[in-house]
């Protein structure tokens, strides 16, 4: 692998572990009342059954074992959870408390295509194989498209924080607040002017233009607020307001390493240039 491909693979592995760390916590909450959460052992309901998916699913993601099927199943779970629990509260994920579901649903869909990365049990197992299965090859070929879809979604959801910071839009609704709304997202502690940076950067990310440098710049805000706001509140992201923040941070680092994916202005511009090494015109290939 060339240097770009190495960075892409390593950031993929790190993000997979972080996603598992975030995802395992609601499973622990439902099964054992983790961090003071409400236990739900009614496995006949969608909420109760979710605990049986979230805890083992988070463990498998952290280990990088059976990553593709696990991520695909969990992506579907997050999609169902969003439209069942959060979408009825309003259209905007930033105000209906469904932002985390949206991020995880599309991030898991990307992991289903991209795989586990080199720091995983899947990688150790695959090294012993003498051939690549047709199914794994097909999933790998879809990675640049899954990455492009994820990029668009993340640009949209992250930009909403810019409009909240700079213009005061998307305030939390009145009435009974969810726990996430009571805690407050760490990103809301960024300075007013950071909202303008997020709006401009979100637009560039949405278009897939200057993706690597844009993503690197956008990662600064989540990094600063997670360390200065979320971490002092406690280690566990489920109770420190840092769930979305830490996911944005490592997703931006993935985009900075891998590039925009297909369906982007970067892709169109790079198609006009000769390819070098194993770089795909859409960015570094991900095929762990």
Measure CA of the first residue to CA of the last residue in the chain; give whole Å. 11
User: Residue 279: what pLDDT?
Assistant: 41
For residue 263, give both structure tokens.
Answer: 């369906």
User: Residue 1: what pLDDT?
Assistant: 47
User: Residue 280: what pLDDT?
Assistant: 47
Are 279 and 3 contacting, i.e. CB atoms less than 8 angstroms apart? no
Are 190 and 162 contacting, i.e. CB atoms less than 8 angstroms apart? no
Is residue 274 classed exposed, middle or buried when 0-12, 13-18 and 19+ CB atoms within 10 A define those classes?
Answer: exposed
- Cα 40 off chain centre by: 26
- DSSP at 276: -
Lowest mean pLDDT among 154-168, 220-234, 271-285: 271-285
The upper half-sphere exposure of residue 258, i.e. CA atoms within 13 Å in the direction of its Cβ, equals 30
- For the chain, give every domain's residue range: 75-116+139-284
Q: Classify 277 in phi/psi space as left (phi over 0), alpha (psi -120 to 50) or beta.
A: left
pLDDT digits (tens, 9 = 90+) for 224-247: 999 999 999 999 999 999 999 999
Are 144 and 270 contacting, i.e. CB atoms less than 8 angstroms apart? no
User: Residue 178: what pLDDT?
Assistant: 63
| Gap between the Cα atoms of 114 and 11, Å rounded | 12
Q: pTM for the whole thing?
A: 0.92
The DSSP element (H or E) to which 163 belongs, if any, is helix 143-167
pLDDT digits (tens, 9 = 90+) for 277-288: 444 444 555 544
Q: Look at the block and give the residue holding tokens 């240097």.
A: 3
207 vs 173, higher pLDDT: 207
Q: What is the mean pLDDT of the chain?
A: 90
pLDDT digits (tens, 9 = 90+) for 51-62: 999 999 999 999
User: Residue 171: what pLDDT?
Assistant: 84
pLDDT band at 252 (very low <50, low <70, confident <90, very high): very high
């Amino acid at each position: 692998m060339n240097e770009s491909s190495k960075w892409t693979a390593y950031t993929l592995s790190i993000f997979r572990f972080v996603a598992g760390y975030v995802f395992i916590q609601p499973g622990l909450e439902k099964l054992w009342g983790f961090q003071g959460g409400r236990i739900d052992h009614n496995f006949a309901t969608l909420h109760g059954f979710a605990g049986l998916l979230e805890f083992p699913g988070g463990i498998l993601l952290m280990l990088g074992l059976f990553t593709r099927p696990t991520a695909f199943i969990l992506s579907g779970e997050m999609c169902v959870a969003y439209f069942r629990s959060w979408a009825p509260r309003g259209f905007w994920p930033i105000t209906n408390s469904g932002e985390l579901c949206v991020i995880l649903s599309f991030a898991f869909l990307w992991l289903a295509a991209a795989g586990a990365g080199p720091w995983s049990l899947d990688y150790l197992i695959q090294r012993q194989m003498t051939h690549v299965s047709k199914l794994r090859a097909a999933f790998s070929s879809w990675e640049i498209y899954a990455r492009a879809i994820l990029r668009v979604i993340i640009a949209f959801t992250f930009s909403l924080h810019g409009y909240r910071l700079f213009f005061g839009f998307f305030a939390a609704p009145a009435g009974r607040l969810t726990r996430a709304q009571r805690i407050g997202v760490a990103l809301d502690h960024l300075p007013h002017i950071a909202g303008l940076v997020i709006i401009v950067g979100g637009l560039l990310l949405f278009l897939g233009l200057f993706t690597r440098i844009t993503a690197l710049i956008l990662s600064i805000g989540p990094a600063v607020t997670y360390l200065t706001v979320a971490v002092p509140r406690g280690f566990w992201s489920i109770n420190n307001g840092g769930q979305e923040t830490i996911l944005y941070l490592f997703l931006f680092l993935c985009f900075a390493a891998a590039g925009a994916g297909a369906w982007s202005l970067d892709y169109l511009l790079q198609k006009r240039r000769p390819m070098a090494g194993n770089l795909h015109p859409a960015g570094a290939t991900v095929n762990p």
